[in-house]
Amino acid sequence: MRSESATWVWATACLLACGCTAIAGLDRPYHLEAGGGAGGDGAGGGPLADCSEEASSGCVYARCGDVPASAPGGVYTLDLDGDGPEEPLRVHCGEPADGDRWALVYNSVGSADGATLPFWKILYDDRLTAKGEPSIDDNHYHPSLYVAGREYRDEVEDIAGTVAEVMRATAEGIETEDMHLLTPIRLAGDGNLFDWQFGTGWASADFDRDTKGDGNCSSAYAGVTQHYGNCFVYNLGADDDEPIADEGWGPHMETVVATSYGLSDDGSVYTRVQRISRWTRW
């Protein structure tokens, strides 16, 4: 039985050892039988719906873009290596956009109860471990998708409900030892945001690979783990907006950048936002 962590290891080995430019996908979507194997018939022996035409709970896809366009955004099962694992990945696939669907890499959601801040205190040893449920409404972290992902976009929703795409970029995978993305290239969006939140190092409270020369960005900002430059344009969980007392709301974005995208301003230097989401496709 291949666990989710084992799928990560296999996919990473392909990327780094074999020099793959993309993870081997499936020739076509397939159904998992009740016993876990791929097949054309369910446990009852009757024919199953064609997964390329109609999504169902038993359908398995190589990527979110293979989910039928008529299906709603939500959680779907992906098999990144095409090997038919017994425990494929459960991934939130968004609504169709740009003629494709995107997979949710992470999602930080603001909360007045202070639950967001501790969620993002991910230690180095847990950097490859998924956290939370795959949902656009909840905190979620799905690092396995950095192996497969080739194109990325970051999306911010402000506390008034306005949504803006703030960055688009490409990468050729990720180096799992220090979590830097391979060959990052900015396609659109704020240059500092790209440099500090995508094309730079990664830091947790117990691991410093950010570009801040005189300290650890994660330690400086509530122990929140993420890709950091010197130190951030947005933060997934740092309460860095004095003098606003928001009881550890969670995601914040530099106000001058937020307002440049038409997002609201809470009166602080780092404005609260409702969510920060990173999406990928391949």
Q: To which H or E segment does residue 186 belong? A: strand 185-189
Residue 89 has pLDDT above 80, yes or no: yes
- Whole-angstrom distance, CA of residue 250 vs CA of residue 239: 6
Give the pLDDT of residue 112: 87
Residue 24 has pLDDT above 70, yes or no: no
The larger pLDDT score, comparing residue 99 to residue 154, is at: 154
Instruction: Give the closest residue to 8 by CA, choosing from 121, 149, 170, 162.
Output: 149
- End-to-end Cα, the chain, rounded Å: 26
Residues 6+ apart with CB under 8 A from 128: 5, 8, 143, 144, 176
Pairing of strands 89-93, 226-228: unpaired
Looking up tokens 């688009």 gives 168
Give the pLDDT of residue 27: 65
What's the CATH number for 4-281? 3.90.215.10
Give the pLDDT of residue 36: 53
Residue 4 has pLDDT above 50, yes or no: no
- What are the sequence ranges of the domains in the chain? 4-281
The pLDDT-based confidence of 240 (bands split at 50, 70, 90) is low
Residue 214 has pLDDT above 70, yes or no: yes
Give the pLDDT of residue 87: 67
Residue 86 has pLDDT above 60, yes or no: no
Residues 6+ apart with CB under 8 A from 5: 128, 129
The larger pLDDT score, comparing residue 7 to residue 260, is at: 260
Give the pLDDT of residue 238: 86
